[in-house]
Amino acid sequence: MSALDDLDIPALEAWIGREEVMTDILTPALVSRFGATFGDWVMTPDEGVAPGLHWCIAQPAVDHAGLGPDGHPKRGGFLPPVPFQNRMWAGGEVTFRAPLRAGDEVTRSSRIESLKPKEGRSGPLVFVAVRHLYSVAGETAIEERQDIVYRPATRSDTPKGAGGDGPASPESFTGDPVTLFRYSAMTFNGHRIHYDYPYVTETEGYAGLVVHGPIQGTLLINAAARAFGTTGLTVAYRGLAPLIAGQPVTLHREGARFWLEKTDGTVTFEARATSETDKGQA
C-alpha cells in the first residue's frame, strides 16, 4: 500500500484555483545586493535588471508563529496541506516579456494551477504547480510556472548530495555558506536546509547545507540570456540532484541546453531555452 493511498486527494485538490497577490518595490538596494551576491555570474542588461532577480521580490512575510518545523510557512495557507515532510522546488518554466527596472512597483499574482500525485522511483510524490504573473503598471513582465514537490522523509546510509567535493576550477561556481545566507536573506527564505547544519544533516539526511534551486536557476537563466537575449526568452528548468555548499559546479552548454555539473559528473540542475527573437539558435 502506497502512502498516496492515505492522502485525501479531493480535499487537497480544493486548493486548485487559490490565489495570492503581493506587491513590492524593486529597490536599487536589492539590485545592488543581488549583483554583489552573484558577481559576474549574472549579466547587466542594456535595460532593466538581471534575469532571476524576480525571485527576490514580493515574497510572503509570515509571522514566526506561522512557520512549520522546516522553516517554511505552515501547510494549509496558500499552498495545500500535503502531509509529506519534505518540500522542494522541483523546477518550472519562466518567460520574460518585458524588463523589470529599479524603482518599479511590481505585483506578483499567484494561482495554484494543479495538484498531481505520482509514484516515483524514490517513492510517493505530490507535485503542485503554481502560476505566477509579475506585472508593472498593469502590464505583464514575467510569466512563470513553478513546480513544487512534496515527498515523505527518507533515510539512507549515504547522505543525500554526497560526492563531487572538488577541487574547484577557475570556471566553476561554488555556493559557500555565506552565499546561501545572503540569498536566503534577499528572498526571506526561512527553509532550514540552507543554513541549519544540524537540521539539514540529522533531520533531512543531506550531506551538508543545500544550495538553493533558484541560485542554480539564476546561473542558468543568465547564461541563456547571454546567448539568446532577455526579452522574449523562455527557460524551462528543473532540479535533478542536490547541490551541497562547498561543492563546485561547472556550467555547460550544448545548443539550447544548459546545465550545472559537479566534479563527479552529477548534473544538479538543467535548463532549456527558446527565444521569440531567435528561435534558430534554440
pLDDT digits (tens, 9 = 90+) for 201-236: 999 999 999 999 999 999 999 999 999 999 899 999
Q: What is the pLDDT of residues 29-43, one digit of tens each?
A: 999 999 999 999 999
Mean local confidence (pLDDT), 113-129: 90
What integer pLDDT is reported at residue 58 of this predicted model? 95
C-alpha cell at 126: 505530490
Q: What is the pLDDT of residues 160-176, one digit of tens each?
A: 999 998 888 889 999 99
Mention every residue, 6+ apart, whose C-beta is less than 8 A from residue 161: 206, 207, 208, 210, 241, 242, 243, 244, 247
Mean local confidence (pLDDT), 38-66: 93
CB 246 within 8 A of CB 99: no
C-alpha cell at 85: 515532510
Mean local confidence (pLDDT), 153-158: 79
Q: What is the pLDDT of residues 238-250, one digit of tens each?
A: 999 999 999 999 9
Quick one: pLDDT band at residue 114, thresholds 50, 70, 90? very high
Quick one: pLDDT band at residue 282, thresholds 50, 70, 90? very low
The reported pTM is 0.93
**Could you write out the three-class secondary structure of 228-253?**
HCCCCEEEEEEECCCCECCCEEEEEE
Quick one: pLDDT band at residue 121, thresholds 50, 70, 90? confident
What integer pLDDT is reported at residue 5 of this predicted model? 72
The Cα–Cα gap between 193 and 190 comes to 9
Give me the numbers of helices (H) and strands (E) for the chain, helices first please: 5, 10
Quick one: pLDDT band at residue 156, thresholds 50, 70, 90? confident
List the CATH code of the domain at 3-275: 3.10.129.10
- Mean pLDDT, the chain, rounded, equals 93
Quick one: pLDDT band at residue 263, thresholds 50, 70, 90? very high
Check pLDDT > 70 for residue 195: yes
